A and B are shown apart, each in its own frame.
Chain A
Amino acid sequence: MVASLQQDAYPGYEPTVTVGSSPENDGRGVHEAEKIFTLGPGQVAGLSGIPGSGLTRLGLALLAPYANKGSLACIDVRGWMSPTAAWEMGIEPEHLVVVRNGDIVTWGRIVATLLDGVGGVYAEIPSGIKAASLRKLVAKARTQRTPLVLRPVMGELPSGIAHLHLKVKEVIWFGTDAGHGRLRTRRTLLDASGKSTRGMERTIEVEDDGTNDLRVVSHMGPQTSRRFA
């Protein structure tokens, strides 16, 4: 089971986890980043990063506003998902159902069924799911106007699937120091791309202290596009 935690599953991709002294926030560009960070009805977000990089909380934070309008469903491929993080995000226990299923044969049907009935779906993708199946689900999410967050447990999402694609670049933990303190705050530096960033790759930094939903923090700015006119 520990194998799923390691970086070997993500060749060529290596986020940096570091430890910081104290978080600061200068508030620059926050509003614009928050706009990118909002998932509209029927939109799909794709998350890339190894377990431990904070993407489960990030995915739940994207869907949390929809918990007020109905129930949310999480598809837990590994059987490890704990709802406490969702409760910390403000999702009420009775508004969250968890489906434990790692079977690639039934996975697509389950996601499709949930898209018909719940307010939002967070789905871990087991390895072996074809890109065509994912594209069908994305189309269904759009038709049903149900937000969908996709998180492959291994590898990357096929390109062009997600409206917002978030990839973890760096994780900074605050609060621990050689046996003292405790984990308090995590800052995650993300590369955002997709339609929601209008084709430009952007860097967003989010902060999570476990007491509220994620906050977008400073140092956000457009990155140089790789394309030229």
Chain B
Amino acid sequence: MWYPTWALRRPDVSLDQPAQAVDTANKVVARNQPAAALGVAVGMQRRSAEAICPTIVTVVSDPTADMARFEPVVAAIEAIVPRVEIASPGLLFLPIEGAVRYYGGETPLVERISKELAEFDGDHRIGLAAGPFASHQAARKTTIKAPELIVADDAAFLASLDIGTLTSEDLAATFRWLGITTLGSLAELPKQAIVSRFGREGIDAQRLARGLDRIVDPRVIQKDPSVESHFDPPLDDFEQASFSARNLAQRLMSGLAFSGVAPHRVIVTATAGDGTVRARTWRSSDPFNDQTLADRIRWQLRAWIDGVSSGIRGGLVTLRLEPADLSGSGRQMALEEDARSFEEMQRACVEVQAIAGADNLLVASPQGGRDPGQRVHWTRWGDVPAPHPRDPQAPWPGQIPSPAPTLVPPDPVPFEVSWADGMPEHVRLKSRWVPVLSWAGPWRSVGRWWSGESSADRYQIVTSVGAYLCEIRDGTTYLIGVYD
């Protein structure tokens, strides 16, 4: 749900005459219909817009004040669809899965929202699609006369859009220079070609173009990453609250950075002195950082303080930030250098994959098991690791203790050992028999006897040329690891 001219909905701006809102960098962030008719476009420099239309009224965008005015709209929408996510003042994302079922379809729901928004008397637009990017683009495609657009197929809808709809202007310019002018032509390019030329940024753009939207990395963060501040005495002053919010945002982001993640969504919850609890969810297409998150919290606090709900009565007692949709890209984006090195690594790996073959570039993750070979789960680089059922945290009795052998043959290799009185005496390495200096074991591995696995005894053997891990299964000795 989008109000394209929300930044211009202020008492000092008339909607009948050309008007524009500019940001601190003097770029146009919103313009009204008369200005658009004269050729003023979003993203244009203020000076260029004024050259096209000398009588245009220019106001500097104030997101804090805009958010305060937007709060009643959010509250009204939330009465219809819960858990709304605010991207910026004037732009809301609504997860409508449940609401569609409740209202009996997408069209009745859109009509219901439009009816609610009619009270606010403004140029609202509604785009409905499977992902946030496609729905935002759908809203942008609407007009005053047809303010609603329901997209049936995200990929087909996005295919016709201009490449300039991508958020990165530089990337869009490069694609255009290469002759890729629509999102459809970008979507058709092979993934590997995009990675090798544009790295992570290119892949993200292609995912958007294919209607797949961003990836939420399902990393498991063990403890609750939420942060909370209690204020005693309660904070009455907005500036004090903003300052505390900034510190809280920094605390949250540094805690998450330690785990290598950054949030795409944050739920801001404030508890007032009279016990009222208010919560709002903020969303960003790029992972939040300290600065962007602190800004959102400040806007939200201002909206609550100045909003129709007559402020935070009794002062602010608790402020809580709860992150969601954690993205692993947070680690790579933390520093410019990290992002660059990640991109270089991706490029190198794609090239190596092309030379060595996709099956020969591997990444490994730990899994549970008794033998060294069982404790490693290999995945081809670039593939999503398949879930493995062996829990590495489980006890695995009979597991070979640390240090782990460094060389583990893919399949057990027959290994000749001479025994005397049940003790290993010599091992054969090609043509030579070398004496055993010391040994430990056996560790018995019973195996899944019900599925036909035979039991085995494992030994650590130290010889004059190295230490080996071997197992005896069905009377034959096999080498299963070398301590290199």
| A positions within 8 Å CB-CB of B | 1-3, 5-8, 15-19, 50-57, 69-71, 73, 78-85, 87-88, 93-94, 96-101, 106, 109-110, 113-114, 116-119, 171, 173, 175-184, 186, 208-211
B207 within 8 A of A: no
Other than the given A5-B482, A183-B467, 5 more pairs (CB < 8 A) read: A2-B430, A3-B429, A54-B484, A80-B407, A83-B364
- Which residues in window 89-132 of B have CB below 8 A to A? none
Q: B349 touching A53 by the CB < 8 A rule? A: no
What's the minimum C-beta distance from A129 to chain B, rounded to whole angstroms? 16
Closest 4 CB pairs of A and B: A52-B466, A210-B403, A117-B348, A84-B404
Q: A82 touching B441 by the CB < 8 A rule? A: no
Partner of B408, one of A80, A88, A96: A80
Q: A208 touching B407 by the CB < 8 A rule? A: no
Q: A17 touching B463 by the CB < 8 A rule? A: yes
Contact with A along B330-371 (1 / 0, CB 8 A): 000000000001101111110110011000111111100000
Partner of A16, one of B341, B464, B479: B464
Q: Which of chain B's residues has its CB closest to A71's CB?
A: B345
CA distance A87 to B402 in the complex (A): 11
Contact with A along B408-430 (1 / 0, CB 8 A): 11100101000000010000111
Q: A176 touching B440 by the CB < 8 A rule? A: yes
Q: A97 touching B351 by the CB < 8 A rule? A: no
CA distance A110 to B361 in the complex (A): 11
From B45-53, B61-69, B372-380, give the one contacting chain A.
Answer: B372-380
Q: Which of B361, B373, B441 neighbours the largest number of chain A CB atoms within 10 Å of its CB?
A: B361
Main secondary structure of the interface of A (DSSP, over half): mixed
Q: A178 touching B439 by the CB < 8 A rule? A: yes
Q: B361 touching A97 by the CB < 8 A rule? A: yes
Partner of B429, one of A5, A80, A171: A5
Q: A106 touching B406 by the CB < 8 A rule? A: no
Q: A175 touching B430 by the CB < 8 A rule? A: no
Q: B352 touching A17 by the CB < 8 A rule? A: no
Q: B352 touching A114 by the CB < 8 A rule? A: yes
Q: Which of chain A's residues has its CB closest to B469's CB?
A: A183
CA distance A80 to B407 in the complex (A): 5
Q: Which of chain A's residues has its CB closest to B378's CB?
A: A98
Q: Which of chain A's residues has its CB closest to B424's CB?
A: A179
CA distance A2 to B365 in the complex (A): 27
Q: With a CB–CB cut-off of 8 A, which chain B residues contact A97?
A: 349, 361-363, 381
What's the minimum C-beta distance from B443 to chain A, rounded to whole angstroms? 9
Q: A54 touching B465 by the CB < 8 A rule? A: no
Q: A178 touching B438 by the CB < 8 A rule? A: yes
Q: B352 touching A98 by the CB < 8 A rule? A: no
Q: B375 touching A84 by the CB < 8 A rule? A: yes
